[in-house]
Amino acid sequence: MKNNVIAAVLPLALLLSACTTPVEPAFKANENGSHATACVAGGPDAVAQQFYDFRIQQRSNGVPDSATLAAYRPYLSQALYEALRHAYQDRRVDVAATPNEKPGVGDGDLFSSLFDGPTQVAVADASTIPNRDARNIPLRVNLVNQKPGAESATQWQDEILMVREGECWTVDDIRYLGPWEFASSGTLRQVLERR
């Protein structure tokens, strides 16, 4: 009888001890790099939404110049910032070397599938993502381009990859998912690498 009680209580005791054992996060902030500038406040979805809202206000196309890139800096991962900075420098070299030809990276919106870019954006809520300790989170983005006076609008989805750098959530890449034939394809980083 005594062995039966121990056999019944032991699994319960182990289960309860697991509930009180502290769990370490999958990463520590110092293991995930740091962000070179001040953070944009919020989780991955809030930062992504603020990035697109800022992007719509800026209304600049093509590779951002130095001043525009500096304004975008708090939103961008170190890797994406460096890729954009190099693309701008290479673009200036392309233009100087071949002034009558189109530079390597297009003049359209680099941050979405549509050349004209969005006029409205809604980023998916990150609360549906189960892993709170993730270092990177892809989020679906619903984009709309409504031309002034037009009755219909162009609607599509892209995907934004948010990464954690230290305590900051930053934009690391954008996957173009526009369904039409002339949409940008691949990812922003791939476009910048192909320049």
pLDDT tens digit at each of 195 positions of the chain? 666 656 665 555 555 555 444 444 434 444 445 556 688 999 999 999 999 999 999 887 889 999 999 999 999 999 999 999 999 887 544 433 334 444 444 578 999 999 999 999 999 987 766 666 678 899 999 999 999 888 999 999 999 999 999 889 999 999 999 998 888 889 999 999 876
- The tokens describing 193, both together, are 């690498």
Listed residue (16, 50, 29) closest to 170, CA to CA: 50
How many domains does the chain contain in total?
1
CB 46 within 8 A of CB 124: no
CB 139 within 8 A of CB 124: yes
Structural domain of residue 69, as residue ranges? 2-194
The pLDDT assigned to 102 comes to 47
CB 44 within 8 A of CB 162: yes
